[in-house]
Every structure is written in structure tokens, then in C-alpha cells.
Structure 1
Amino acid sequence: MTIHITVTSDFICPWCFIGERRLAKAIQALPADTAVELKWRPFELNPDMRSEGLNRKTYRSLKFGSWERSQLMDAQTAVAARGDDIAFNYDAMEKTPNTFLAHRLMRLAEHHGLATEVARAVFSAYFEHGRDIGNVATLVDIATENGLDRQQTEAFLAGEEGVEEVRAAERDGQGRGVRSVPLFDIGGEIISGAQSVQTFTTALQRAMEQDDACTGGACSIG
């Protein structure tokens, strides 16, 4: 039995981080013999962000009208994530980064079967430790800390590998009407936003039931 899950997200989206943690909890509760194939798809909330990023206070103040409003929104996500094992550290975050390089890194991680580990590490690096995930050296360190080869990662990010793959995946998402993240496709059922662990659990159970109904090369109703 294999449940196929696709997660579309961006690494500067706190709700993407929260949603991933809740999905992970739901997956952990599955029967031990359940296989899960988890794929990550890119989405850039700021596709026009300059490559070096922008001072977070400046960017967020412009985007939301004031720094005070931005801080209020940060506080709301921190409260919402209570119980999700996330230690948001907004005070440590100096930049709003360009996330294209991080999405490119995911192509290399996926090739080596480490996409989920690297994705979780990138989220944590940014939201819990304030690391600049738009910086090549930072991404190389994160990749190395999570099983990828340092020299191979440096060479990958220094070249053009993965660029067209990310662009194509983004175009595909736009073509399918993806306008906000996180977005979870669990066995064909679409879940938008950082829903509860129970919501993910229910979707996983439905995916398992659907898998059970598909035997002998055909799928039957119910």
C-alpha cells in the first residue's frame, strides 16, 4: 500500500511549515506497513524578489502597511503553531530571502531521496534559527547537515541544473490554478492551508481505503 502525497509550498510561508508538521504527525500515526511517497513542488510567494533578498522589516512593513501589523501576524502564526513543535524565532530573521535557490536544492535532494529531510531542515533553518536560506553557502551547509555531499551541492547550485525543472513545475502549478500555499494533494484529494492533524488523518484514511479498492489492475467504487 502506497499513499502518494504532493506538497506545494514556499520556504518563507509559515503556514507551509505548520502544515508540513501537522501532515508529518498524521503520517506517523499510520499503520507500520503503510508506504508514503511524498513529493515537493515549488511555489514562490515573491518571484520578483532580488537574489540577495531584502531586509525583512522593510519588506514586511511595505507589504502589510506597517511593521506593527507584520509583528501581529507573526504572533498569530506562533500562537496557531502551539502544539506543533515549532519554535518560531522571528526576532532572528533579518531578511526575507529569494527562495528560488532553495527550490533548486530540492531537485538535488529529491534525486538522492532526501527531499523531505532537506525541506524540513530549510523550514527550520529560516523560521527557528533565522538563517539566510537565499544564501548559497547557507544552503550548502543545510544540505550537508542532512546527507548531501558538499562538493556536489556546491557544483549543483553554482551551475544551471534544476533551473528549468523548477520553472516548469511552477508553470504547471499556475496552469492548474495554484494561487496560494500550502497545498496538499493526498491520493488525489486536495487540501488547502495548514489544516488540523485530524483533517490530514482523515484524508490519509480515505487514500488508504481507495488503495484497498484498487486491486487486480482495476479500481472499484468504495
Structure 2
Amino acid sequence: MIQLDVISDPICPWCYIGKARLDQALMERPAHPFVIEWHPFQLNPEMPRAGIPRKDYYRNKFGSREAAAEVVSNIMEAAAETGLDFDLSAIPRVPNTLDAHRLILWAGVEGVQPAVVSALFHAYFQDLRDIGDRDVLCDIADGAGLDAAMIRRLLEGESDLKLIVERDAAFRGMGVTGVPTFLVDRKQAVPGAQPADLWVRVIDEIAGVG
């Protein structure tokens, strides 16, 4: 088996698109060799814990309404080509994702990381939910088969806060500047939301096909 580490943030639309494209390749090659693990990277580490309105965030990030509109248009085009249907302009708030990353970490310990990651993306982009809200995170945890009461107790404490920050910093120290970034066998970095056919080729090369 080959380790595939995915460095991402659950509010990153390119991460959502990149996951969808990877999933398409894995469905095409169900005998793939990958063991997938998700890792934290906060796009906005200085984000207030309560988050900020999306319009304010886009204006601050891209400098103008016109620049933001162009970025959003490119994202929406890529999403549609990938088969995803969501509307960035409908998202009311951009949350701090520190607690979401903590949930992903705990989900990995319990063996339900794929379900939690998928649910976080769907909650934020499709259902327009605030995944910085602990009630929302507990609901997602419950849906993935985790003990929601235990998750709430963990979220209310400081368990693994330092670990998430340290892992984020470690990836930045390795040269990761954007997400998604995929690490194949902890050796080869594949940045960006790569098309499904690239992942199919990677799988075939690993299997010695072609």
C-alpha cells in the first residue's frame, strides 16, 4: 500500500474540487494502492474564532469586487466541470477552521476520516452551514458514527489545539504554500486540484500498467 497524504482546509473550494477529482479516479481504479490521510492547513490562521462575513473576506483577500468575481468565476467553472454544484456567493460566512481540523484529526483516530472530511465539505459548500460552529461539528461527528457528546467535550477543551498548529507549521516549513497538496508515498508532492486522469495515470504507474 502507498501512503497518500492530503494537506487541505475544508473551506477551500479547490480542496473540495481536488477531492472530487481524486474520488473519481479512485472509483475508476477501485484496486488503487492508496491509504489516504488528511492533514491540516489553515488558509486563514489569523481568522477570528467567530469567522467573518464572506463578502468582507473576499474583499480583503482579493482587493476588489472585480478581482473576487474573476476568482469565483474560475472556481465555479472548474467545479461544474468536475460535477460539483455549489454557489460560493451563497455562503454567508467564512469560519475559522481550527476546530474542524481537530475533528478531522479525531476522526482519523476512530477510522472515519473520509466520512468526516466529505461531510465537512458538503456542509460548508452545499448546505451553507458554519463549520466553525461546534453544534454543526458535533452534528457532523454524530453523522459519521462518532460520539457527539465526547466530541463536544473535546471541542470545549484545548485537546490537540497545539498539535494542529504544529502540523500546519510543519507543512509550511516543508514548502507547502497552498492547498490542496498531495504527498505520494511521503516523497512526491502533487500540488493543486489535479484532474482525475492524472491520478489514474499515477495509479497505473504504481501498478506497472502501460
Normalising by structure 1, we get a TM-score of 0.87
Alignment of 1:1-222 (within 5 A): 2-32=1-31, 34-187=32-185, 188-209=187-208
Residue 70 of structure 1: CA displacement?
1.9
Output the CA distance in 2 between the equivalents of 1:106 and 1:119.
7
Q: Spell out structure 1 runs of 4+ moving beyond 3 A.
A: none
- Percent identity between the aligned chains? 36
Residue 58 of structure 1: CA displacement?
1.2
**Root-mean-square deviation (CA), in Å?**
1.7
Question: 1:77-100: CA deviations, max 9, x gaps?
Answer: 111122423111224311111111
| Paired residues of 1:118 and 1:146 also in contact (CA < 8 A) | yes
Output the CA distance in 1 between the equivalents of 2:59 and 2:173.
31
Output the CA distance in 2 between the equivalents of 1:83 and 1:144.
32
| Paired residues of 2:57 and 2:94 also in contact (CA < 8 A) | yes
| Structure 1 alignment gaps of length 5 or more | 213-222
| Counterpart residue type for residue 29 of structure 2 | L
Counterpart of 1:218 in structure 2 is: none
Question: 1:148-184: CA deviations, max 9, x gaps?
Answer: 1111111111112221221221122022111111101
Output the CA distance in 2 between the equivalents of 1:31 and 1:102.
28
| Paired residues of 1:86 and 1:128 also in contact (CA < 8 A) | no
Question: 1:1-32: CA deviations, max 9, x gaps?
Answer: x1211000111211111001111111122244
Residue 35 of structure 1: CA displacement?
4.7
Question: 1:96-131: CA deviations, max 9, x gaps?
Answer: 111111001111101110111111111111111211
| Paired residues of 2:33 and 2:203 also in contact (CA < 8 A) | no
Normalising by structure 2, we get a TM-score of 0.92
For the pair shown, the structure with the greater C-alpha radius of gyration is 1
Residue 65 of structure 1: CA displacement?
1.9
Aligned residues: 208
| Paired residues of 2:116 and 2:141 also in contact (CA < 8 A) | yes
| Paired residues of 1:51 and 1:98 also in contact (CA < 8 A) | yes
